[in-house]
Amino acid sequence: MAKLDPTKMKDWQIAEAAETNLRKAADLAAELGLNEDEWEPYGRYLAKVDVTKVLARFGEKKRAKYIDVTAITPTALGEGKTTTTLGLVQGLGLLGRKVIGCVRQPSGGPTFNIKGSAAGGGLAQVVPLTKLSLGLTGDIDAITNANNLAMVALNSRMQHERNHDDAWLAERGLKRLDIDPERIQLRWAIDFCAQGLRNIEIGFGGKLDGFNMKSGFYITVASEVMAILSMASDLADLRKRLAKIVVAYSKSGAPVTTADLEVDGAMCALLVEAIKPTLMQSIEGQPMLVHAGPFANIAIGQNSVVADRLACALGDYVVTESGFASDMGFEKFWNIKCRCSGLKPDAVVLVATVRALKAHGGAPAVKAGLPLDPAYTTENLELLEKGCDNLLAHIDIIRRSGVRPVVCLNAFYTDTEKERQLVREVVEKAGARFAVSDHWLKGGEGALELAESVIAACDEPNDFAFLCDLEEPLKDRIEKQVKEVYGGDGVDFEPLALEKLAQFQSDPEIARLPICIAKTQYSLSHDPKLLGRPKGWRMPVKDVLIYCGAGLVVPVAGEIKLMPGTSASPAYRRIDVDVSSGRVSGLF
């Protein structure tokens, strides 16, 4: 393959050029040591891997070095966490390590909106890009359908209970659930940023047109079904978790589950293939496992437990990715995912950019679709040094877990040597490892310094430990997270949140579930305007959701929405198809 220049080519053009040299899925499967009955091809270059069969053969013993990639608080453009994950995988591959990368499947929301696909960028990408970005092997569609089937079952049951007496229901093997239309927990799902569907009313018409009630949509990747896919250990565990989803409450206050609606089995049937990670490859040919979805601000935002366990059984080094910054993605990796998987990280990479640090130092806001202010493309050490307070906060968060981070400065060609040196000095003074990585421009070759730093970090013992004991009260754990992870002064619970917390605390099973806070990704606080390392603030929690299937208690902080909105300059305006060849252009 001819040398590609990311400064002169779009990501989709680089991916298209690289795809002429893709390795076949059969070759990747053979390299990983998979038997023929442990994987299934989806065309020439994709495959689904049967985790249950592989782990039954290899056992549960972790043998790989396990590395998580997280980041500082990002700008609206993101700071290249997936790109860095890919660069690190490629760098470790060039150093002769048997490495597997684990990343999340892109959501249609960002792909067609502001951030674009989650494929990486430049010379550090997952390929084939078009397949990855436009549905892949159908997992997110299956999750959407499973979620919406539960909503169909709920609305249908409410309609029939309204229209018929108990005798009519009994003839059909049904028992009245007496669902309270004011206490519906589940919403419809769609994998786009469709703010117009956040709040809707359904069931207009006559008796045969469903139950008339208020409803709404969330983006598919924020649904409990997606969280369950991320957390489930196998198909049997997935089936059990789906049955526990609380869709509503009865008028007497009893939870109504998917099992009560007798829809849980059908939901699982839609997800039989989705529980299997998809085998892909980096632009340089290293194996990548793609599974589960993004949005750690409003969901768990991790690629799946099964993908990580599978990779740890097959590789010597595993690089996994957590959504958004360390206060969001890494915190959930640390206190939720690692509890569930039983895996503990050998190293944590913290991605930073000069651009984001300048934003936290007071540079004009970065706005998607608009040119960057000159402050970002010319040397400004004063802004950069001030913004390093945010970097230091994230270093402290990771060290709070017992792991010494490797700070990766994701290099932009507009960075100056003085700027890079300033960040290095700040990081090393804070006692963390530091590496500059130029993977976007140079691929694995540009990530060798980072790869070597990570190898050294993996050989360094750590004292990884969870933030809280699950026996601590839910309210105390929320406050501890706000104070010790986010740096706030405390939590202000609104009456609804306090009422729900009291209810959940009275249930011994729910009281021991991990906390998964939903808040903005653009600040350590709940307020996206509070940049840097804000002090003297308190977090308002207005509601607390319960995901019994995923096994999560979800406090909702600030004005966070479970359905993002589409911008005025979305990516779909630039995506098109060459109708003579069928090739897609404009993805990024």
Distance CA 285, CA 288 (A): 9
Check: CB of residue 20 under 8 Å from CB of residue 583: no
- To the query of whether residue 561 is one of the catalytic residues in this protein, the response is no
Please tell me which residue in 104, 244, 276, 475 is annotated as part of the active site. Answer: 104
Q: Provide Rg for the chain, Cα atoms.
A: 24
In this structure, what DSSP letter does residue 533 have? Answer: S
- Can you tell me the distance from the alpha carbon of 370 to that of 179, in angstroms, rounded to the nearest whole number? 48
Identify which of 80, 535, 543, 81 has the alpha carbon closest to the alpha carbon of residue 330: 81
Q: Which two tokens stand for residue 478?
A: 């929320």
Contacts (Cβ under 8 Å, ≥6 apart) of 107? 118, 140, 191, 219, 220, 221, 293, 294, 295
Annotated active-site residue 412? The verdict is: yes
- Active site (annotated) includes residue 83: yes
Angle at 433 between CA 427 and CA 438, to 5 degrees: 90
- Is 187 considered catalytic here? no
Q: Which residues contact 580 (CB under 8 A, 6 or more apart)?
A: none
Q: Known catalytic residue: 172?
A: no
Q: Distance (Å, rounded) from C-alpha 358 to C-alpha 414?
A: 13
- Catalytic, out of 48, 65, 81, 97: 81
Q: What is the DSSP string of 31-88?
A: HHT--GGGEEEETTTEEEE-HHHHHHHH-S---SEEEEEEESS--TT---HHHHHHHH
Q: Which residue has the tokens 């104070």?
A: 483
Q: What pairing do the DSSP bridges indicate for beta strands 347-352 and 65-71?
A: parallel
Dist. CA 524–CA 385, nearest whole Å = 18
Q: Which of 12, 192, 324, 334 is catalytic?
A: 324
Of 259, 377, 400, 412, catalytic: 412
Would residue 104 show up in a list of annotated catalytic residues for this protein? yes
Q: Indicate if 115 belongs to the active site.
A: yes
475 is catalytic: no
Catalytic residue among 70, 73, 75, 83: 83
Of the candidates 48, 115, 404, 533, the residue annotated as catalytic is: 115
Distance CA 235, CA 242 (A): 11
Catalytic residue among 333, 440, 493, 537: 440
Active-site residues, by number, are 81, 83, 104, 115, 296, 324, 412, 440
